[in-house]
Amino acid sequence: MLDPLVNWFKENQRHLPWRITYDPYQVWVSEVMLQQTQVETALPYYERFIKEFPSIEHLAGAGEERVLALWAGLGYYQRARNLMAAARIVAEKHDGKLPAGYDELIALPGVGQYMAGAILSIAFNKPFPVVDGNVRRVLSRVYGWTEENPKALWDAAARIVRESEPRMVNQAVMELGAKICSFKSPRCLLCPVQQYCIAFRTGMQDKIPPVKKRPATVRVHLFAVVHQKAGRCLMREVDGMWEFPMFSELPAGNFERAGSCRHTITHHRLEVSVYRGEIGTADGIWKKPDTVPISSLTRKIFKAADFADDSDA
């Protein structure tokens, strides 16, 4: 099954910037961004990031605020902090070159079994397996596994990567999962491994892989207060990101309701009532929201506060 799969990938792969030279640093940055994020969403962030930090040395020498500003909107900011911390270690201990050994890679902040396998196989073309959601879905369907079995999955991934060109086969399985073997409606008639696929033969695509139980959605209602003066707002810094003061209950004060917004973080669904008003200066530092790293939620709150008329000073 691997030859048709790899040939399909060679003909149909998306042309992505890190696939031009497979530079290890570029592959690493792309993999970090693609955790929890679709390729189409990550692409403009990737291009801005690589333009500003074209090498590990550039990233290692960067300030956290600038790195987070470039990451702002992608979410999961711990990824960016880990990437920066790891770049500093690589600059210091490995002469600025991403190591090509599993033990050295896994010792870096933010690098786990998946990430180490992805870097080693895609950047260095070494036979290390990867298992992400796409790989899990494709391999479970091909082998007809109706029950969860992480060990069998990693073993199968390790087997196929040894039997073909590591860089190609790992990307091919992931790409097949992303483009053809989708969760809800796999396009089996276009699939290069259809004849090897047990789920296809038995019509079990919608039963495989078994659906994982998700934690129940938790609704949270918050109150955000945006205090703006002469183009600056009172903001607080939390782990390098800037946000408006938020409360579980609206504090006493001189506020007017401006609007509301919604935001989802993992299984938390936030409903935020946005107020304009004056809040004690002890609650923050005066900042221009467009000059500091802010999350998508903070951006939504600022939009809901609607200060279009307050011109800059």
Residue matched to tokens 């003066």 = 229
Instruction: Give the SS3 label for residue 4.
Output: helix
The H or E element spanning position 285 is strand 285-287
Segment near ligand SF4 (CB under 6 A); pick from 6-14, 28-36, 105-113, 194-202: 194-202
Binding region for ligand SF4 (CB under 6 A) out of 156-164, 191-199, 220-228, 250-258: 191-199
Going by DSSP bridges, is the β-strand pair 268-278/218-226 parallel, antiparallel, or unpaired?
Answer: parallel
Between CA 144 and CA 148, with CA 146 as vertex, the angle to 5 degrees is: 115
Residue 130 beta carbon to ligand SF4: minimum distance, rounded to whole angstroms:
17
The nearer residue to ligand SF4, 37 or 194, going by C-beta atoms, is 194
Minimum CB separation from ligand SF4 for residue 192, in Å? 8
Q: Name the amino acid, one letter, at 114.
A: Y
Residue 49, both tokens = 């990031």
CA atoms within 13 A on the CB side of 187: 8
270 neighbors 263 (Cβ within 8 angstroms): yes
Please tell me the distance from the alpha carbon of residue 182 to that of residue 161, in angstroms, as a whole number: 22
Residue 140 binds to ligand SF4 (criterion: CB under 6 A): no
147 is catalytic: no
What would the x/- binding string for ligand SF4 be over residues 204 to 243, using CB under 6 A? -x--------------------------------------
Nearest distance in Å: CB 120, ligand SF4? 25
CB contact at 8 A, 200 and 194: yes
Residue type (1 letter), 91: A
Structure tokens at 187: 């396009």
Chain centroid offset of residue 77 CA: 9
Task: Report the residue from 200, 223, 242, 275 that binds ligand SF4 according to the rule CB under 6 A.
Answer: 200
- Choice from 72, 157, 199, 292 touching ligand SF4 (CB under 6 A): 199
Q: Which of 11, 31, 175, 256 is catalytic?
A: 31
- Range 250-267 burial, b when 16+ CB lie within 10 A, else e: eeeeebeebebbebeeee
Q: Are 242 and 292 in contact (CB under 8 A)?
A: yes
Residue from 138, 178, 261, 297 in contact with ligand SF4 (CB under 6 A): 138
Out of 74, 142, 169, 234, the only residue in the binding site for ligand SF4 (CB under 6 A) is 142
- Told to check if 28 binds ligand SF4 by CB under 6 A, we report no
Q: Based on CB atoms, which residue is closest to ligand SF4, 51 or 184?
A: 184
- Token readout for 206 is 């919608």
Closer residue to ligand SF4 (CB): 142 or 294: 142
Per-residue tokens: 60: 């290692």
Q: Which is nearer to ligand SF4, 138 or 178 (CB)?
A: 138
**191 touches ligand SF4 by CB under 6 A:** yes
Name which of 141 and 263 has its Cβ closer to ligand SF4.
Answer: 141
Question: Least distance to ligand SF4 from the beta carbon of 149, Å?
Answer: 17
Query: Which of the residues are catalytic?
Result: 31
Please report, as ranges, the residues that interact with ligand SF4 according to CB under 6 A.
138, 141-142, 180-181, 186, 188, 191, 193-194, 197, 199-200, 205
